[in-house]
Structure 1
């Protein structure tokens, strides 16, 4: 490995160490109470090193939030791809998203702090950057299989994604997040079932038509 390659690898390892330390601190003691000095000490680097990678604490929190959401997206994609059919893929993706955002206490804490740390609009932008394309792909798969009763345009995708995010936030804030997650999953699956296309029932070929009133048999 060249000197340049070793330096790049060291920078990446240092950045990852800072992200992991910050994620633990933000989840444990909160964004407001955590200082850059705390992060530097936990990551065993200098304060200047933290600032080399991140301009301020908000920038650091955004990087942590994005990193954790990207990891979650990978888990969601893996859960979906364990299934061959479009509907089981969508169901598995929704369950995996709720599992990752609600059951994981650290991730749940970061998700709840994000609006105050980054602003609601920035949180929405990040969620849509990482979540909408994947959801759109799943809905397109349903449409291609002719299993969706409506066209999966941007509006439908945003509405479903908004419902998913709201379910995660509401369940995460519940006294019993695990129980609330199951309730949220049931509600989401029920809502999506209403979008499922059911082919019309066909009359058996050998069935006789019943005569209408007044009609001669």
Structure 2
């Protein structure tokens, strides 16, 4: 592809980065959707496997880590946030709705919970992206995320 053809579709380097980052995030969310579609799994198991799939995508794909590290600097935090909200929050809300339909989580506003949980996952993914040992960082961050998610569970018998 010629430079002119690229500039026909993208007015500047930031626009190119925006599209590359967006595609990377779509791929991450496809992995999360796959993890969330396991048949016969409880909604809590789906939520946990989705969180782990999210972190694993940054652990195992060496191209995603530098994109994530650079995204806020190139696109700005607000643009990254809008992309995340567009691509990820609907899936997060869907999982929370599954839990809520079964009466499993403690009472909480689903939109607020989805946003806070996703921001927590983003911070965990960023720690993986900056880590010298991404595998270890993903396991450690995943464990913390799962512990924090368990705090949303309604106590047995309530």
Instruction: Place the TM-score, normalised by the shorter chain, in its bin.
Output: over 0.9
Structure having greater relative contact order (Cα 8 Å, sep ≥ 6): 2
Alpha carbons 1:136, 1:157 under 8 Å: kept: yes
What are the Cα deviations for residues 148-179 of structure 1, in whole angstroms up to 9, with x where unaligned? 11234221211111110001101221221110
Aligned length: 157
Query: Aligned match of 2:77 in 120, 142, 162?
Result: 120
Q: Secondary structure at the match of 1:160?
A: helix
CA contact (8 A) 2:58 2:128 kept: no
User: Are the equivalent residues in 2 in contact too, given 1:102–1:178 (CA < 8 A)?
Assistant: yes
CA contact (8 A) 1:143 1:151 kept: no
2:41 matched to 1:82? no
Does the aligned pair in 2 maintain the 1:72–1:97 contact within 8 Å?
Answer: yes
Structure 1 residues 101-110 or 60-69, which shifts more?
101-110
CA RMSD of aligned residues (A): 1.3
Counterparts of 1:108 and 1:102, CA distance in 2 = 8
Partner of 2:5: 49
Q: Is the 8 A contact 2:44 2:99 kept in 1?
A: yes
How far off is 1:110 after superposition? 0.6
Q: Which has the larger radius of gyration?
A: 1
Structure 2 stretches lacking a partner, 5+ long:
none
Within 1, Cα distance between the matches of 2:58 and 2:86? 17
